[in-house]
Structure 1
């Protein structure tokens, strides 16, 4: 017998709850999905555990997580872990592959971090200045890393309203992952992210090629697949954001009062 792949185990395996992420805003359970002798650790967010938001329709966050993954997969960028919508112990919800992360190194900054204004290391980009609890001047920074850059472009495409530093995972497999995409893909501009370090820089031409292909796919069956999770106006807004980047291939500058999510981590 062949070993089932991760997607099959996540979609068809028996879900057993093994823990809960108590600091999460919405009900977030850690589960094991088991099928055919294979087990995949995952995060399960049941729709019934979603906290209502004033600007996003109730019960849509799980679908937005899945739609965000589908967009990322269609681009071929491998930023978001495998994500599905399925039934579980507490009803329909989002299931996403768990990511093991690197052990923190006290001698080095994380991919997104805070440091003294005068101590921004090489290879890091400043985002904004602030003061810590002691009144000392600090700066929010992130790594000038191509893996993180792709995530920043994806956030623009997805209109991500909540790219916190804690939603950036430094995977033990050497890849960088983004998680928590429940408040993405709104039809109105909601972009809030800690990844503003590339603002004003031209986009990588290879990413533009991927974006052009995605824009074309929205006119075929892929658009129908997305329509199972988000509305037609939201799909059209997604298309508009992609076309805007293709027309003016520069990373946008932040504007408005809410340039980053709060809290930032």
Structure 2
């Protein structure tokens, strides 16, 4: 008698692990303005660490009255995935120990990757883009710069699409030499223009050919009945989906990175 065929274990996707796995709270990230819990998640022999942000721990925001911040975090992930750039860690909406919330894969950032700097020069050096001047104490100012990095440039385009009102330096997580993630997308997708970011270095410059191609793909997905529009409609309001579509159209029409409007502070505070 021949031995029975051994069936290999099924491969669990990251999305399945996050959505269906058992969450165990390991600690709290206390510097966050809303409840952010560091957790482990286990499912069918697979394990990972993740961030769990329960809706019950969100502070109400007068200018984001609809839906939840958790839903907006998931919506940002969906747009990131539609670009093909993979700029937002895998993120799902699920039930957890403190009710429904956002669950996102934990990313270990590469500590030696320098993306932001303060310099004493009037102009940025090669390989850097100017953000603006910042006070550094004792009446001194320094030029705040970010790396002229293709990964950051893609993130700047994503932020313009999702209308990110809070792109800080601490939200940039490089992983190795090639991968960069952006996190903390709770204040996004407002129907009014609220873009606030550190990534203004390309403001007014032409979009790359890659960005134009990606935005064209997004426009198709955001068309009425399109897959991205349908998914976003489950997470944000119809007006916010329409505004997202309009932002993509505006970027394609101008062919340029957006510039600060001058109507409000363009850089979030604190910037890091």
TM-score, structure 1 normalization: 0.94
Residue 172 of structure 1, aligned match among 176, 182, 188: 176
Deviation per CA, 1:90-146, whole angstroms, max 9, x where unpaired? 0000011111111237xxxx2123232358443111110122122222111100000
Partner residue of 1:234 out of 240, 246, 254: 240
Q: Equivalent of 2:213, from 209, 215, 221?
A: 209
Q: Which moved more, 1:16-25 or 1:250-259?
A: 250-259
State the distance in 1 between where 2:28 and 2:66 align. Answer: 22
Question: What's the counterpart of residue 59 of structure 2?
Answer: 51
Structure 2 counterpart of 1:126: 130
Quote how far apart the aligned CAs of 1:77 are: 1.2
Aligned-pair RMSD on alpha carbons? 1.5
Q: How does 1:109-124 map to 2 (within 5 A)?
A: 110-117=114-121, 120-124=124-128
Which residue does 2:266 correspond to in 1? 259
Is 1:29 matched with 2:26? no
- 1:56 and 1:149 map into 2 onto residues whose CA distance is 26
Q: Which residue of 1 aligns with 2:96?
A: 88
TM-score under structure 2 length normalisation = 0.92
Number of residue pairs matched by the alignment:
261
Structure 2 counterpart of 1:18, from 26, 36, 53: 26
* Match 1:190 to one of 175, 189, 194: 194
| 8 A Cα contact 1:170 1:177, kept in partner | yes
Q: State the alpha-carbon separation in 2 of the partners of residues 2 and 121 from structure 1.
A: 51
Q: For 1:19 and 1:126, locate their aligned partners in 2 and report how far apart those are by CA, in whole Å.
A: 37
- Structure 1 residues 202 and 227: alpha-carbon distance in aligned structure 2, compared to 1, 3 A threshold: same
- Give the Cα–Cα distance (whole angstroms) in 2 for the partners of residues 210 and 232 of structure 1: 23
Partner residue, 2:185:
181
Aligned to 1:149: 153
Does the aligned pair in 2 maintain the 1:117–1:129 contact within 8 Å? no
Structure 1 contact 3–36 (Cα < 8 Å) conserved:
no
Q: Unaligned 5+ residue runs, structure 1?
A: none
